Amino acid sequence: MKQVMIITGSDSDLPVMKEAAAVLEEFGVEYEMTISSAHRSPDRTEELVKDANFSGVKVIIAGAGMAAHLAGVIASRFTLPVIGVPLQSGVLGGVDALLSTMQMPPGIPVATVAINGAKNAGILAVQILATSDKELENKLIAYKKKLAESVEEKALKI
């Protein structure tokens, strides 16, 4: 059963958003990835989110550029965690997306990662799921240990 849904506003965002998918695959977390726009296809977006509530999805990762508000719209309709990925685009280089993703009104939180931070969005989704999955938690412990070991190896090369 898919536990994470990745929604991105445009097919041009797929190269970045696939980084979240790669993390989920690495940890063995089932996911679904699709395209929907809060502004160009609001009915589709609402249907996706409404269905997610009943299909076992525990976390939604939403990526959009410019001042698009995909993550916020999703968070207004989905009761479980939403992770926003502001995407680099337009004349402001993603700063507009960052601000629109993180500046949510009280009661509608969106966890926000860095501009183009889809990899961290995937890791955060895994961390959220690991709060109730010991096997996933153990995989995270091993992952973090590998990160530390890679720093040690690099330090030895200096």
Residues of the chain with pLDDT under 50: none
Residue-range domains of the chain with CATH: 4-131 (3.40.50.1970)
pLDDT tens-place string over residues 141-154: 999 999 999 999 99
SS3 label, residue 61: strand
pLDDT tens-place string over residues 89-117: 888 999 999 999 999 999 999 999 999 99
